[in-house]
Structure 1
Amino acid sequence: MQTSTPPLRTARMGARGKIPTPTPARRTTSTSYISGYKNRFQNFIKHLREMGDEVLVVTTHKGAPEEFHGAKVIGSWSFPCPLYQNVPLSLALSPRIFSEVNKFKPDIIHATSPGIMVLGALAISKMISVPMVMSYHTHLPAYIPRYNLNWLLEPTWSFIRCLHRSADLTLVPSVAIAEDFETAKVVPANRIRLWNKGVDSESFHTKYRRHEMRVRLSGGEPEKPLVIHVGRFGREKNLDFLKRVMERLPGARIAFVGDGPYRSELEKMFTGMPAVFTGMLQGEELSQAYASGDVFAMPSESETLGQVVLESMASGVPVVAARAGGIPDIIPKDKEGKTSFLFTPGDLDECVRKIEQLLSSKDLRETIGMAAREEMEKCDWRTASKKIRNEHYSTAISYWRKKMGKTNQTSLFQDSSVAALSN
Structure 2
Amino acid sequence: MEQASVFGHLKQQDFPESFKFYIKNKNAQHIQHDQRVLNELVRPRLRIAIVTETWPPEINGVALSLLQLCKGLQRQGHKILLIRPQQKQACSHFVPNKECLVLAQSIPRYPSLKFGWPQYLKVSGAIDEFIPDVVHIVTEGPLGLAALQAAKSKNIPVSSGFHSAFQDFSRFFDLAFLMKPVQHYLRWFHNNTQLTCVPSQNTAQSLQDLGVLCPMAVVGRGVDVDCFNPKHYSAPLRQRWGADEQTAVLLYVGRLSPEKEVNLIVNAFAAMQKNSTKKAVLVIVGDGPEREKLQRLGQSLRVIFTGSLSGAKLSEAYASADAFVFASQVETFGNVVLEAMASGLPVVAYDYACAQQHVRHLRSGWLCALGDAAAFIGFMQRLPDRPTLKQMGLNARSDIQDVGWRHPVQQFEQALYSAAQAKT
TM-score range, shorter chain: 0.7 to 0.9
Tell me how far apart the structure 2 counterparts of residues 198 and 249 of structure 1 sit (CA, whole Å). 33
In the other structure, the counterpart of 1:229 is 252
| Residue pairs, 1:286-305, within 5 angstroms | 286-305=314-333
Give the Cα separation in 1 of the matches to 2:306 and 2:109. 25
Task: Determine helix, strand or coil for the equivalent of 1:397.
Answer: helix
Mapping of residues 354-365 of structure 1, within 5 Å: 354-362=379-387, 364-365=388-389
Report the residue type matching 2:181 in the other structure. Answer: P
Number of the residue aligned with 1:205: 229
1:336 aligns with 2:361: yes
Question: Residues 115 and 96 (structure 1 numbering): CA distance in 2 closer, same or farther, change over 3 Å?
Answer: closer
| Partner amino acid, structure 2, of 1:86 | S
Q: Any idea what the Cα deviations from partners look like across 1:98-124, whole Å, max 9, x if unmatched? A: 222211111111111332221011022
Taking structure 1 as reference, are residues 346 and 165 closer, same or farther at Cα in structure 2, changes over 3 Å only?
A: closer
- The letter for the 2-side match of 1:351 is F
The TM-score normalised by the length of structure 2 is 0.84
* In 2, Cα distance between equivalents of 1:222 and 1:346: 34
RMSD (Å) for aligned C-alpha atoms: 2.0
> Who is 2:395 aligned against?
371
Could you say which residue in structure 1 is the equivalent of 2:407?
A: 383
CA shift at 1:60, angstroms? 1.0
Listed one character per residue, the Cα deviations across residues 225-274 of structure 1 (whole Å, up to 9, x for unaligned) are 11010111111111110122111212311001111121121111111110
Residue ranges of structure 2 left out of the alignment (5+ in a row): 1-38, 274-278
Given candidates 187, 192, 195, the residue that maps to 2:219 is: 195
- The letter for the 2-side match of 1:375 is D
Residues 13-412 of structure 1: pairs in structure 2 closer than 5 A = 13-18=51-56, 31=57, 33-63=58-88, 65=90, 69-71=94-96, 72-82=98-108, 84-188=110-214, 191-216=215-240, 218-219=241-242, 221=244, 223-250=246-273, 251-331=279-359, 335-362=360-387, 364-389=388-413, 391-400=414-423, 404=424
CA distance in 2, matches of 1:82, 1:279: 19
Matched residue of 2:41: which SS?
coil
After superposition, give the CA deviation of every residue in 1:347-382 in whole Å (9 maximum; x if it has no partner).
3442244334444251x3233212211222221212
Report the Cα distance in structure 1 between the residues aligned to 2:244 and 2:93, rounded to whole angstroms. 41
Relative to 1, partners in 2 of residues 1:114 and 1:219: Cα closer, same or farther, differing over 3 Å?
Answer: farther
After TM superposition, the score normalised by the length of structure 1 is 0.85
- The list of structure 1 runs, each at least 4 consecutive aligned residues, that deviate by more than 6 angstroms after superposition, is none
Task: Confirm or deny: 8 A CA contact 1:320 1:355 kept in the other structure.
Answer: yes
CA contact (8 A) 1:254 1:276 kept: yes
Deviation at 1:7, TM superposition (A): 2.3
**The 10-residue stretch of structure 1 (106-115 or 306-315) with the greater mean CA deviation from structure 2:** 106-115
- Which residue type is aligned with residue 383 of structure 1? H
- Please say if residues 66 and 74 of structure 1, whose CA atoms lie closer than 8 Å, have aligned partners that are also in contact: no
Query: Shift of the alpha carbon at 1:324?
Result: 4.1
Aligned amino acid, residue 209 of structure 1:
Y
Q: Is the contact made by 1:10 and 1:110 (CA closer than 8 Å) also made in structure 2?
A: yes
Structure 1 unaligned segments of length 5 or more: list them.
Answer: 19-30, 405-423
Contact 2:81 2:99 (8 Å CA) reproduced: yes
Q: Which moved more, 1:7-16 or 1:270-279?
A: 7-16
Q: 1:213, CA displacement in angstroms? A: 1.8
| Alpha carbons of structure 1 residues 175 and 226: separation in structure 2 relative to 1, 3 Å | same
Partner of 2:375: helix, strand, or coil?
helix
Count of equivalent residues: 380
CA distance in 2, matches of 1:376, 1:114: 31
1:344 is displaced (CA, Å) by: 2.8
Return the structure number with greater relative CO, CA threshold 8 A, min gap 6. Answer: 1
Residue pair 1:34, 1:232 contacting (<8 A) in 2 also: no
Hey, what's the Cα distance between the residues in 1 that align with 2:377 and 2:144? Answer: 41
Partner AA of 1:89 in structure 2: F
**Cα distance, 1:113–1:128 mapped onto 2, change above 3 Å:** same
Offset at residue 2 of structure 1 (A): 3.6
Alpha-carbon distance between aligned partners in 2 of 1:283 and 1:253, rounded to the nearest angstrom? 23
Structure 1 distance, partners of 2:301, 2:371, is: 22
Could you say which structure has the larger radius of gyration? 2
User: Secondary structure at the residue paired with 1:249?
Assistant: helix
Distance 2:305 2:242 in 1: 10
Aligned 8 A contact 1:302 1:325 in 2: no
Identity of aligned residues (%): 25
Question: In 2 relative to 1, CA 51–128 (structure 1 residues): closer, same or farther, beyond 3 Å?
Answer: same
Aligned to 1:259, the other structure's residue is in SS state: coil
2:30 corresponds to: none
Deviation at 1:187, TM superposition (A): 1.7
Cα deviation, residue 36, structure 1: 0.7
**Cα distance 1:289–1:212, how it changes in 2: closer, same or farther (>3 A)?**
same
Cα deviation digits, residues 107-163 of structure 1 (max 9, x gap): 111111332221011022123321111001110122111112222211111000110
Cα deviation 1:188-217 (Å, max 9, x = unaligned): 5xx01111121111110111111112223x
Aligned equivalents of 1:375, 1:87: Cα separation in 2: 33
